[in-house]
Amino acid sequence: MKITSAEFVTGAVSLSQLPDGARKEIAFLGRSNVGKSSLISSLCKIKKIARSGRTPGKTREINYFLINNQFYFVDLPGYGYARLPDQMRASLGALIEGYLQNRKSLAFVIQLIDARHEPTELDKMMVGWLDYYGVPFEIVLTKSDKLARSRKAACVKEAELVFSRFGACRGVLLSSSDSGEGRKEILQVLSEYC
Ligand SMILES: Nc1nc2c(ncn2[C@@H]2O[C@H](COP(=O)(O)OP(=O)(O)O)[C@@H](O)[C@H]2O)c(=O)[nH]1
Ligand SMILES: [Mg+2]
């Protein structure tokens, strides 16, 4: 798949504000700061297309980008930001789960996990939701440029071990928005779903 155009469409703060659902959507899910917005920019080869949060953990919008005038990339709010009040964290979780559960036009999810760290409890919970709601997804291990070359294969293997038991999991890929590693492979996967 080749991305020829990408434009910011809207930022929704509630499910009632989402676009009408006539186009397929690929959503990017992961904890705050894992690299969602950077990956979207890198896939689109546009500097900073993805409106990144000015303050970490403060992006609570569901951001929509129209790709090739055809389908959407959806930048979901990051979860797991420690300094968020409990009530806000709960409403954020409800927003994400509501989106994953109800969004008919959602075709595929890229679940991002930092390649350098073990998946968090929240990462596992998200994957549990994806699997439960039957949303096919790919695990993308981010910031692979920070990983020793010798660690890369083992890192993928470990993630495969954790996630392959989920029927909705399509596979595991390494990615770096800095070096471009994994970009081609991710676009290849996405081309099957949009
Ligand atoms: N080294 C490295 N840093 C990255 C990569 N992707 C994102 N970052 C950095 O990680 C921070 C968070 O990235 P961002 O895309 O805003 O994360 P988001 O909160 O998930 O949208 C920023 O400082 C990025 O520059 C990557 O592939 N490699
Ligand atoms: Mg972001």
The alpha carbon of 186 is separated from its chain's Cα centroid by a whole number of angstroms, namely 12
pLDDT at position 146? 98
Ligand 1 atom 12 nearest Cα: 33
> How many angstroms is it from 29 CA to the middle of ligand 1?
13
Pocket test for ligand 1, best of 37, 38, 63 (most atoms within 8 A of CB): 38
- Provide the pLDDT for residue 48: 62
What's the pLDDT score for residue 122? 95
pLDDT given at position 83: 81
Report the pLDDT averaged over residues 153-164.
96
Residue whose CA lies nearest to ligand 1 atom number 7: 35
- Per-residue confidence at 181, pLDDT binned at 50, 70, 90? very high
Provide mean pLDDT across the span 149-155.
96
User: Which tokens hold the place of 72?
Assistant: 């959407």
pLDDT band of residue 46 (cuts 50, 70, 90) is confident
> For 74-110, how does the pLDDT look when each residue is reduced to its tens digit (9 = 90+)?
999 999 987 888 888 889 999 999 999 999 999 999 9
User: In whole angstroms, what is the distance from residue 28 CA to residue 50 CA?
Assistant: 11
Which CATH number, 3.40.50.300, 3.40.50.1820, 1.20.1560.10, 3.90.850.10, labels domain 6-191?
3.40.50.300
CA 93 to chain centre: 15
- State the pLDDT confidence band at 54, using cuts at 50, 70 and 90: low
pLDDT surpassing 80 at residue 42: yes
Q: In the beta sheet, which residues pair with residue 62?
A: 12
Distance between CA atoms of 5 and 36, rounded to whole angstroms? 19
Spell out the domain ranges in the chain: 6-191
Contacts of residue 179, defined as CB under 8 A and 6 or more positions apart, other chains included, come to 144, 145
Query: Residue 56 pLDDT > 70, yes or no?
Result: no
Q: Which ligand is nearest to the CA of 79?
A: 1
Give yes or no for residue 58 having a pLDDT over 90.
no
The Cα 64–Cα 8 span in angstroms is 6
Q: Give residue 81's pLDDT.
A: 85
Nearest atom within ligand 1 for CA of residue 59? 19
Euclidean distance between CA atoms 70 and 88, whole angstroms: 33
Cα separation, 108 vs 91, whole angstroms: 23
What pLDDT score was predicted for residue 152? 97
Report the predicted TM-score, pTM, of the whole model to 2 decimal places.
0.95
Ligand 1 neighbours by CB, cut-off 6 Å: 30, 32-38, 52, 78, 142-143, 145-146, 176-178
96 C-alpha to ligand 2 centroid (Å): 14
Check whether 51 has a pLDDT greater than 90: no
